[in-house]
Amino acid sequence: MGWDALRQWGKDAARVDRLAGGVANDVWRVRVNGRVAVGRLGARSDADLAWETELLKYLDREGLAVPLPIPTMDGRLFSDGLVVMTYVEGGPPETEADWRRVADMLRRLHRLTRGWPQRPGWRSSIDLLHAETGTRIDLGAMPAEGVARCRAAWARLVGRETCVVHGDHNPGNVRLTAERVALIDWDEAHVDVPDLDLVLPHNAAGLNDGAFDIAAQASAAWEAAVCWDDEFSRKRLAEVRAA
């Protein structure tokens, strides 16, 4: 059905302009009920989208600033791969103090989601010590030596508690105002070890040298695997030390 599904949010619902940053999805600024919102169209399953939208509703109830799914006219939170969410105002983090605020937000996310069920079809970095595939990851497509390096990095996380990680908190996915920190684009969120979220500019999460090294290596390995095979993923893999 594609963008024709937008009609399920009202006869006047319409696309306005395409937003940057959509790789796996087609993301647009839309107008719904006379208000600006964000529409994201992709190929994720209903189970995957149900996991994400229910997570966002829960985080909002707990006081975290996140985009909220806007229901269709008949009350559904998504339809035919399309999700419509509230538009979140704010700018990217720029200073060390800004990134410390982001770290605080991420740690609240992690505390609130301990024991959360895994996103359908996804694997954590720990799972990938034995599994070959999970959503966008296919270790069979990577060089065997690269897989060994990634798994050695992830093996250092064994035994850690898991929770929801945002998974893509680059500056473009952070919306800061004087009052709050918001995270948008939860398309990469899944259950994993929180270390993957805590490799921040200025070491804003305050990790000691050993913890930062473990987190940085695991994060580089994850980004290499999830993005393989492009220039960015090869650069990230080069940062992962040999086992």
Residue with tokens 């979220």: 197
In this predicted structure, what is the pLDDT of residue 39? Answer: 97
Domain boundaries, the chain: 2-86, 96-238
Q: According to the model, what pLDDT value does residue 190 have?
A: 97
Question: What is the model's pLDDT at position 136?
Answer: 84
For residue 107, CA distances in Å to 95, 110, 165, 194 come to 19, 5, 10, 8
> Residue with structure tokens 């069920």?
117
Whether the CB-CB separation of 243 and 157 falls below 8 Å is answered with: no
Which CATH superfamily, name and number, covers 2-86? Answer: Phosphorylase Kinase; domain 1 (3.30.200.20)
Question: Mean pLDDT in runs of 10 for the chain (243 residues)?
Answer: 92 93 82 96 94 98 98 96 97 98 98 97 96 92 97 97 96 96 96 97 97 97 94 96 85
Third-level CATH fold of 96-238: Aminoglycoside 3'-phosphotransferase; Chain: A, domain 2 (3.90.1200)
What pLDDT is attached to residue 103? 98
Answering whether pTM is above 0.85, one says: yes
Tell me how far apart the alpha carbons of residues 187 and 67 are, in angstroms, rounded to a whole number. Answer: 12
Number of H helices, E strands in the chain: 5, 10
**ω before 229 within 30° of 0 (cis)?**
yes
Q: What are the helix (H) ranges across 128-208?
A: 144-155
